[in-house]
A and B are shown apart, each in its own frame.
Chain A
Amino acid sequence: MKHTLVALVENKPGVLNRVTTLFRRRNFNIDSLTVGRTENPFISRMTIVVDSDADPEQVRQQLYKLINVIQVEDVTHLPGVSRDLALIKVQVDSQTRSEVVQLCDIFRARIVDVTPDSVIVELTGDEQKISSMVELLRPIGILEMVRTGVVTMTRGEEVLAANNYAQRTGQPSNGHRATVI
């Protein structure tokens, strides 16, 4: 079984590199890693899915050793909402186009681009839902596909709030030219 960890990290250059270097160095396999902004501009949030052979507690503690990592939670067993987004370009002709439209109806996907020979399908859902639709589209002809990787949020009272954390002290300016995370 895969483990899902959610991490709040400082929004600073190189933090993503620190995290991925740690995973490589400790021989933890990343299944997917997503990173994005939070409600707090100084803090980014990562959703990291790791392979089952890694001990999630050890992964968590190793992440804590990075000075820029603020909080890490293993949410594998917590009730939560997981979403992956896929864009799938499918090769179509006049006959298969309607087949794709039908599938989109069933999966509540959207068609966001249409040309005479192809359509782009946008699909959001948990990993399984996306994988099932991919399998159904494959025989029709997938030209190109991209998935964002999973983002996760636990339900209800479990809150991982980035606003609990103030900006660190010091640093009259953030001299770094870009926040590259």
Chain B
Amino acid sequence: MKLSGAEIIWECLIREGVDIVYGYPGGAILPFYDAMSKYPQVHHVLVRHEQSAAHMADGLARATGKVGVAIGTSGPGATNLVTGIATAMLDSSPLVCITGQVASPLIGSDAFQEIDITGITLPITKHNYLVFDIHDLAYTIREAFHVARTGRPGPVLIDVPKDVQNAKIEFEYPEGEIVLPGYHPPKEASTSALEAMLRMIGEAERPVILAGHGVLMSGAMREVLEFAERTQTPFALTLLGKGGLPEIHPLSLGMMGMHGTGYANLAIQNADLLLAFGMRFDDRVTGNLKTYAPNAKKIHIEIDPSEIHKNVRADLPIEGDLKTVLNQLLPSLSPLEHKSWLGQIRDWMEDADERDIVNQDVGERLFAAHVIHDMWKATGGDSVVVTDVGQHQMWEAQYYLHQNPNTLITSGGLGTMGFGLPAAIGAAMGLKSSNVWAIVGDGGFQMTMAELATAVQERVPVKIAIMNNGFLGMVRQWQEFFYEERYNATPMYAPNFVKLAEAYGIPARRVERRHDVIPTVEWANSITDGPVLIEFVIEKQDIVYPMVPAGADLHAMIRRPLPEKNSV
């Protein structure tokens, strides 16, 4: 049967198992939209801005493990996708973006809404394509999904000129194996590497596991936990690694890095062996590289060979898929104990407990840490939480303890404000769940709050918690510490969020006192047929502790001051 290019795109999406796409129509993508009604098995979600389409697809991908799909037209439609694509790139999220392009005879003529989107997205996609011939279309889409989801996942963009969407050919879906001569993600470790690893593990007295996003993407949760328990090795998580291992566990150190727990960072700095599992030694994780874990040998298991030796020199680099490598290793791994090392770590934990604000009596004042701690309690700790970027994101990472994989979705690498709400909508739709919370700040929320309309139109039962402190809090914190409290451009006006929500027909409440937190969260949990919003009016000038200043030594943390004892 003859099909148009537009119909071929839909046919291919269906064969890739896509059932939801996020997009925004426009001139150059109109043939694709015209064919949409023939394919009711794919649900199209009309967003309010293409950036959000990419974030929603990203949120869906991270929550479900499927490839997310975002659609935009040429020109501004395509450029609006850019931030969302870059976000997915930096966090290795599998995304396929399809953009319309002006008809191929017009390409290069600066036609209306023409932009070189493959050129623009070259450094922020895993790969991209400009399809000039309808005969290449189906294969290109197939290849794009393969590239997006395999190896170290990432976003792929396909630019399809309007005449290619309109052209018709006899359609035959290209079956069979995809062969890319230049694409071979590594899988297994060599026997000699495994032997070296066993030797180093056996010799270590103060080992620490650094568990990253790779644990989740490789699906190695069970294997890493088994490794940790059998060898009694404590584990610290990267921000994107949260959920990969249970945080309520005697070996858990919580998050590492700039706003990580003091004991995780101290453990890393005092370790004699770091086991880096699917993580990339980001500067927010290491602090000053010159003084980073100075006495530790490093074993780095990583699927992307370019990450090995990039920031931190590995003593034993292992290119491979984490789950595969650990399954090779586990049969020969003997049980170990590290009693004095774990005892040392417990002492550091007790000091942190004393400083922790959740253990301090602050009366009815509302601190974000308390709100998130209470939300964690009220949701039984098993919600999927999607955050925006800033202070609330770090407090989430510190106070919402995740036990299950893929339950924290956050923009880690790019730190994209505005990510929270649309990504939460995507996650809730992908999971078909009403147990997805967007925890956002008043700043980031205002960047993409137009998507409230999308949530209502699609009846997405997403729960929105705004931490409103009237400031761009994280920037304000840096201004307080490093710019002599010159709060330039950080105090921020916000609308009445409750009334705003009501204007969209969204039930909403404001919380200003500690004892209202849990009942209001429970009220929100009872609403399952559409979005619901809570505004928490929190302390204006609170600080995320501990903090390692950018570029400082990892152990040089600014800690929350100890509470004054028996003050009169």
Residues of A bordering B, CB below 8 Å: 9-10, 14, 17-18, 21-22, 25, 55, 57-58, 61-62, 64-71, 165-166, 168-177
Contacting residues, chain B, for A171 (C-beta < 8 A): 135-136, 139
Contacting residues, chain A, for B127 (C-beta < 8 A): 66-67
B560 at the binding interface (Cβ < 8 Å): no
Q: How distant is the Cα of A177 from the Cα of B161 in the complex, in angstroms?
A: 14
- Least CB distance from A39 to B in Å reads 15
Most chain B CB within a 10 A radius of its CB, from A21, A22, A64, A169: A169
A168 contacts B179, C-beta separation under 8 Å: yes
B135 contacts A68, C-beta separation under 8 Å: no
B306 at the binding interface (Cβ < 8 Å): yes
Partner of A67, one of B119, B139, B147: B147
B305 contacts A61, C-beta separation under 8 Å: yes
- Convert B172-207 into 0s and 1s, putting 1 for each residue whose CB lies closer than 8 angstroms to a CB of A: 001011111111000000000000000000000000
Known contacts A58-B310, A67-B126, A175-B136: A170-B178 contact under CB 8 Å: yes
B350 at the binding interface (Cβ < 8 Å): no
Partner of B306, one of A58, A67, A70, A173: A58
Q: How distant is the Cα of A21 from the Cα of B178 in the complex, in angstroms?
A: 26
Contacting residues, chain B, for A21 (C-beta < 8 A): 122-123
B142 at the binding interface (Cβ < 8 Å): yes
B143 at the binding interface (Cβ < 8 Å): yes
Q: How many residues of B contact A (CB 8 A)?
A: 32
A14 contacts B306, C-beta separation under 8 Å: no
- Least CB distance from A114 to B in Å reads 42
Contacting residues, chain B, for A10 (C-beta < 8 A): 181-182
A173 contacts B182, C-beta separation under 8 Å: no
- Least CB distance from B406 to A in Å reads 25
Partner of A61, one of B133, B179, B181, B308: B308
B304 at the binding interface (Cβ < 8 Å): yes
What are the nearest 6 A-B pairs in CB distance? A175-B133, A170-B139, A61-B306, A70-B182, A169-B179, A67-B127
Nearest residue (CB) in B for A25 is B123
- Least CB distance from B265 to A in Å reads 27
B135 contacts A172, C-beta separation under 8 Å: yes
A170 contacts B174, C-beta separation under 8 Å: yes
A68 contacts B182, C-beta separation under 8 Å: yes
Partner of A65, one of B142, B304, B308: B304
Partner of B135, one of A67, A168, A173, A177: A173
Nearest residue (CB) in A for B119 is A17
Q: How distant is the Cα of A54 from the Cα of B143 in the complex, in angstroms?
A: 32
B118 at the binding interface (Cβ < 8 Å): yes
Q: List 17 A-B contacts (CB under 8 A).
A: A18-B122, A57-B309, A58-B310, A61-B306, A64-B306, A67-B127, A67-B147, A67-B182, A70-B181, A70-B182, A166-B181, A168-B179, A169-B174, A169-B176, A170-B178, A171-B135, A172-B139
- Least CB distance from A116 to B in Å reads 44
Q: How distant is the Cα of A170 from the Cα of B12 in the complex, in angstroms?
A: 14
Known contacts A57-B309, A173-B133: A168-B123 contact under CB 8 Å: no
Q: How distant is the Cα of A71 from the Cα of B127 in the complex, in angstroms?
A: 17
Q: How distant is the Cα of A107 from the Cα of B449 in the complex, in angstroms?
A: 72
A165 contacts B181, C-beta separation under 8 Å: yes
- Convert B124-140 into 0s and 1s, putting 1 for each residue whose CB lies closer than 8 angstroms to a CB of A: 00110011111110010
Within 8 A of A (CB), among B89-136: 118-119, 122-123, 126-127, 130-136
B182 contacts A66, C-beta separation under 8 Å: yes
A9 contacts B178, C-beta separation under 8 Å: no
